[in-house]
Structure 1
Amino acid sequence: MGSRFRSRPDREPATGIAANGLPRESVWDYPRPPRVEQLDRRVRVALGGETIVDVPAALRVLETAGAPTVYVPPSSVASGALRPAPGASHCEWKGAAVYFDVVAGGSSAKRAAWSYPSPSPGFSMLAGLVSFYPALVECRLGDELVQPQPGGFYGGWVTAEIAGPIKGEPGTLGW
């Protein structure tokens, strides 16, 4: 990690098997720049008790100090569940993101999903795929309820096998 980080957090051990039966992974072993890889776990997303995504696999993005983000094909999202939302953001690696409000089950979650319509070179496999903020909608990997990445800014999916500490809380900006 070296001098790129202003502080060196105490890291959780990433050895052994987690409560969900998967090998532990440290976010500090994830690469920078990020890596996109296949995720062979069932992915479900729901809002207001209505399932809007249920797929057997997805892609995930791994980046140093952050929880993985999970991306699904837009064709796997229930029709009418995504509504374009105002605003955009820019990731130094993936490029310009657009946002969606999620509407389902009589509920609405503002800017609860995002996508990269034309990602930067090296991330073309994410073009048009959709990710969701676990703090705003219910996300599951397998049968495990996903916890949101700390702090509310990042959209990482925290599950039992993910060891941190994970950036997002106050004091982690330099990570």
Structure 2
Amino acid sequence: MVAARWNGVVIAESDDTVVVEGNHYFPRDAVWSKYLMHSDKSSHCPWKGDASYFSLVVDGETNEDAAWHYPETKEAAAEIAGRIAFWNGVEVG
């Protein structure tokens, strides 16, 4: 089982992650929505597509843009469609 933790709280947990470029992508339903807050940040990857971000809010603390997903993946990245990954101090393992 792989878990994503931040600020002492499990944000996501699953035995069905997909690892791409060293990042675990969790199924959307394995991520606790109550900790996600929509962010206006976006980025572009030439082979995955356009990423959208979430900030994490746990116990009154915010980790800006700490999670991302690809609402519409390019064909080469179809395996991460509907999945969320983490960074920026989120411990995954």
Q: TM-score, normalised by structure 2?
A: 0.89
Q: Name the structure where strand makes up a greater proportion of residues.
A: 2
**Deviation per CA, 1:82-122, whole angstroms, max 9, x where unpaired?**
11101211001101000100112332100000000101112
Pair member with larger Rg = 1
Which ranges of structure 1 fall in alignment gaps of 5 or more residues? 1-41, 63-67, 142-175
Partner of 2:8: 49
**Fraction of identical pairs, as percent:** 32
- Distance in 2 (CA, whole Å) between partners of 1:112 and 1:79 is 14
Separation in 2, partners of 1:83, 1:108:
9
Q: 1:119 aligns with which of 73, 90, 93?
A: 73
Paired residue type of 2:89: L
1:60 aligns with 2:14: no
1:17-36 deviations in whole A, cap 9, x for unaligned? xxxxxxxxxxxxxxxxxxxx
> Is the CA contact 2:41–2:65 (under 8 Å) kept in the aligned structure 1?
no
CA distance in 2, matches of 1:120, 1:60: 17
Structure with greater helix share of residues: 2
Deviation for aligned residue 1:53: 1.1
Where in structure 1 do 4 or more consecutive aligned residues deviate above 6 Å? none
Matched, 1:137 2:90: yes
| Highest RCO, 1 vs 2 (Cα 8 Å, sep ≥ 6) | 2
How far apart, CA to CA, are the structure 2 residues paired with 1:116 and 1:48? Answer: 25
What is the TM-score of this pair, normalised by structure 1?
Answer: 0.50
- Preserved CA contact (<8 Å) 1:50 1:105: no
